[in-house]
Structure formats: C-alpha cells, structure tokens
Amino acid sequence: MNPLAHKHISTTQFKTNLIVLRFFSPIEEATTSAHALLPDVLLAGTMTHPTRRLLQQALEALYDTRIRTSVSRVGNTRVTQFSVEYLDDAVAPASVTSEAIGLLADVLYHPYLVAGQFDQAIIEREQRLMIEEMESNQENKNYVANKAFKQVLFAGEDYVIDIDGTLEQTSTIDAAQLQQVYNELIASPGLIVSVGATDPTPYLSLFQGRQADVSFVDRQTTSRIHPQYISDVGRFVQASVMIGYRTPICFDDELYYPMILADSILGGSQSSLLFDQVRETHSLAYSVYSSYQGAKGAMVLSAGVDASNVQQAASLMVEQVARLQAGDFSDELLRNAKQLWMQEVETVYDTNTGTAIKSIHDWGLGRRGSKYDSIQQMNQVTKAQVMAAAATLTLDTVYAYSPKEVVWTFEPSNHSKKQ
C-alpha cells in the first residue's frame, strides 16, 4: 500500500493544527456493531501507552493535544474518522507536529494487544459502555420514533442498516471479530485533510492505505405506486408525525442548491412554512421541521404533537409541501433562506474541524471551488429553480408513532402524490 492522498489547507486563522484521517467502507449489517466499537477500543491504549489514562497523559503533555474518533455514514458508505488536533509549531514552545502525528499513528497501527489479540477486558468494558448508551437512547422519544420511521420509509433498502449496530450484536463481539474489522478498516480507501499554518506532509507517510474513490450518493430507492400510511403504538405520551418524500435530486444534481433552499423555506427556520402554519397559526405541534437528505434523495418532515392532533397535523404538513411546489411563498422567505444558508457556511469555516469536513465533502463530490463560489451559486438560485426542485418531491410515507392507534382518514393533495 501507498501513503494516503493528502490535502493541506494552509491558514493562520487557528492556533491549532488539525489532521483528519477518514476511511471509507461499505456498510454490512453483520459487522456494524464491531465497526462502531472498534474506534473506542483503539483509543483505550497503544503498545507504547497501554491504558487510556497513559495515552491521555501523553496527549496532555503535548500541550493538550487531542485525538478523537467517530463512525458515521454518508449514503451507504461508512466513514470511520480519526483526528488529531495540536498546537501549531509556530505557537508551541517546542515542535509538536511530529509527536502528535506519531501518537495518532500509534492509535491506528499499534493498538494495545495481548498475545497478539485485542484485550478481552478492554473489549468488555467498551461493550458495556456502548450498550449503556444504546439503552439510554431507548428512553429518547425522538430517537425511537425516527429509527422506527426509517425502518418503514426505507424498508428493503440497505439504508435501514443502523450504523451503530444492535444491542444483540454488540453483546457478542469478541477479539476475533474485532481483529477482522480492524484488518478491513486499515485496508479501506482513505483520505487525509490537514488544516493549519504548519504543513504536516513530511510526517504523513506513516499512514498507508488505498486511495479513496467512493460515492457519497445512495440511489437505491423503493418504487411505491401510492403513498403508504402507517402508525405504530408507542410508550411515550407525546406523538410523532413523520412524512417522507422521495426526490432524484442528490448532492451531485444541478438542482442541489435549489433543493437546499426548498428545505429551508419548508421547515428550516422559525419563518418557514411548516413552523408558521403547523406550530404558530394552528398550534398543532410542539416542534416541526424538515430535513433534506442529499446523500439519499429524501425529504423528511417531522413534528411532535398531541395524539389527538396527528391527522390534522399530518394533513397540514402535506399542504405546506403543495404550497412550496406551487410557489406560494414570498420573495422575502427565499432571501431569508439564502441568508441563513450563507451564515451557516461562514460558521462552518470558523473552525478547523468544519473547514476540514467541508473540504472532504467537496472532494468526494469532485468540487474544486471555494466557499465564495458556492455562496455565489446559492445567490443566483431563482424562485423558479426552487419550485422545480420542489416539484420532484413525491410523497412516499406518512407515519405516526403515537400512544394510541391511528386509523388514517385524510388524503393529501393530488399533486403531492406519486402520479
């Protein structure tokens, strides 16, 4: 294997340097829990610093250097991330770059092993913590309802696979399986992005792998002739209404920016159609918003409501999509949506982490422009383009997670149905 591809973003904006290393791999249901657990086990110690405490002490001695890990998904691609943030050499009393990168390499390539295997005691400890977090999530209504809705909306598609795995899987992970997924990880395609004043390129040959050539878009879609209306009886007092739309527009589509604005106008702020009508005017929801999933080609509307208001809230939510498609929104709302998005972009670039992640995202989509290019493109989006993007939204699923059974009786507007 060769050194991983590396992109350095030179800036003196931050006192710290950041290196983000990402591995990309397909999501397979049988190994999701092990892949989710692996970064925690790797951070539990290295051969040089065999306990989490000793590793932490070594990091703190380097002027509070920090190593973080995460596992997420984009479409049907697992993203396993390792990052190290350290004081820039121009600011630190002594050079930090080499040692900080060395510690990250140790975490990744020299994990603490016993007789050539991951330590079972560490595995069991991290399993226990992961299971406790999973059990805690089961007491979160929004988490439970959203997970149930995802299983309904994307039934039969790989997207239903939970990136965090399952309780059953997590409890059975052993050293052999962890070794298997570890070998898969370090052989996966990868990419390194660094942000800061000091270019770490001379030290990055430690990181080996295959050059990343991955897709961030998941086009696996269930064809549904008519919308489905489903409800589940839950154990929480408050009900959740979730409505899923399909769209062919994803990250790589020319209507991507118009769809972002459509999402914002629909449910992205306190001046949005959903907030104004469902929450403020009709007082049917405690919370209501929309969420466009550009990797999947889906728009999800969500609301927390009283069980007695499920039908009325769902009907009104669908009506707002019809209004969006018909262009029944003000020019001011469109301007506000653009301004909100531009503020969010500026906020992203206010941190080295945001700068790195945005760079990785753009790299995956083949975009080479700056933030100013994207802002200019967004400014040029017209109302007609927003309407064209919204017109692609096809109603797929109306779902309620409610303390009592829902027998659906309302029918949405014809132009919100699949023709």
**pLDDT, tens digit (0-9, with 9 covering 90-100), for 284-309:** 999 999 999 999 999 999 999 999 99
Same domain, 236 and 362: yes
pTM of the full structure: 0.92
234 and 197 fall within a common domain: no
pLDDT at 361: 79
Confidence of residue 414 (pLDDT cuts 50, 70, 90): very low
- Quick check: is 219 in a domain? no
- The answer on 316 and 263 residing in a single domain is yes
Domain assignment present for 233: yes
pLDDT band at 387 (very low <50, low <70, confident <90, very high): very high
Domain-terminating residue out of 182, 211, 240: 211
Q: What percent of the chain has pLDDT over 90?
A: 81
Among 211, 240, 271, identify where a domain stops: 211
- Is pLDDT of 413 > 70? no
Residue 125 belongs to some domain of the structure: yes
pLDDT of residue 417: 40
Distance separating the N- and C-terminal Cα atoms of the chain: 51
- Structural domain span for residue 397: 228-416
Provide the CATH number for the domain around residue 130.
3.30.830.10
Based on the fold, state whether residues 44 and 188 are members of the same structural domain.
yes
How high is the mean pLDDT of the chain?
92
pLDDT tens digits, 100-135: 999 999 999 999 999 999 999 999 999 999 999 999
* pLDDT given at position 419: 32
The per-residue pLDDT for range 55-104, each reduced to its tens digit, is: 999 999 999 999 999 999 998 899 999 999 999 998 998 889 999 999 99
pLDDT in tens, 11-63: 999 999 999 999 999 999 999 999 999 999 999 999 999 999 999 999 999 99
Residue 333 bridge partners (DSSP): none
Question: Are 93 and 119 found together in one domain?
Answer: yes
pLDDT bracket for residue 1 (50, 70, 90): low
Residues 237 and 195 in one domain: no
Q: Do 70 and 127 belong together in one domain?
A: yes
Tell which residue, 79, 126, 71, 83, has the closest CA to residue 107: 83
Using H for helix, E for strand and C for coil, what is the string for the chain?
CEECEEEEEECCCCCEEEEEEEEEEECCHHHHHHHHHHHHHHCCCECCCCCHHHHHHHHHHCCCCEEEEEEEEECCEEEEEEEEEEECCCCCCCCCHHHHHHHHHHHHHCECEECCEECHHHHHHHHHHHHHHHHHHCCCHHHHHHHHHHHHHCCCCHHHCCCCCCHHHHHCCCHHHHHHHHHHHHCCEEEEEEEECCCCHHHHHHCEEEECCCCCCCCCCCCCCCCEEEEEECCCCCEEEEEEEECCCCCCCCCHHHHHHHHHHHHCCCCCHHHHHHHHHCCCCCEEEEEEECCCCEEEEEEEECHHHHHHHHHHHHHHHHHHHHCCCCHHHHHHHHHHHHHHHHHHCCCHHHHHHHHHHHHHCCCCCCHHHHHHHHHCCCHHHHHHHHHCCEEEEEEEEECCCCCCCCCCCHHHCCC
Q: Summarize the confidence of residues 339-350 as an average pLDDT.
A: 91
Whether 233 and 199 map to the same domain: the answer is: no
- The Cα–Cα gap between 70 and 87 comes to 22
User: Picking from 102-116, 169-183, 278-292, 350-364, which range would have the lowest pLDDT averaged per residue?
Assistant: 350-364
Q: How far apart are CA 233 and CA 409, in angstroms?
A: 17
* Cα within 13 Å of Cα(342), Cβ side: 16
> Residue 59 domain-assigned?
yes
- 232 shares a domain with 187: no
Residue 222, in any domain of the structure = no
In a domain, 25, yes or no: yes
For the residues 155-164, what does the mean pLDDT come to?
94
pLDDT at 384 over 60: yes
Among 142-156, 352-366, 392-406, which is the least confidently predicted range?
A: 352-366
Same domain, 112 and 189: yes
Among the candidates 159, 176, 211, a domain finishes at 211
| pLDDT tens digits, 200-246 | 999 998 898 777 777 788 988 887 889 999 999 999 999 999 999 99
Residue that has been written with the tokens 């405490």 in this structure: 53
Q: Which residue has the higher pLDDT, 419 or 77?
A: 77
- Residue at 220 is within a domain: no
Identify whether 400 is part of a domain: yes
Q: Are residues 232 and 290 in the same domain?
A: yes
Please tell me the predicted confidence (pLDDT) of residue 369. 63
How many separate domains does the chain show? 2
131/351 Cα distance (integer angstroms): 32
Are residue 200 and residue 260 in the same domain, yes or no? no
370 — pLDDT class (breaks 50, 70, 90): low
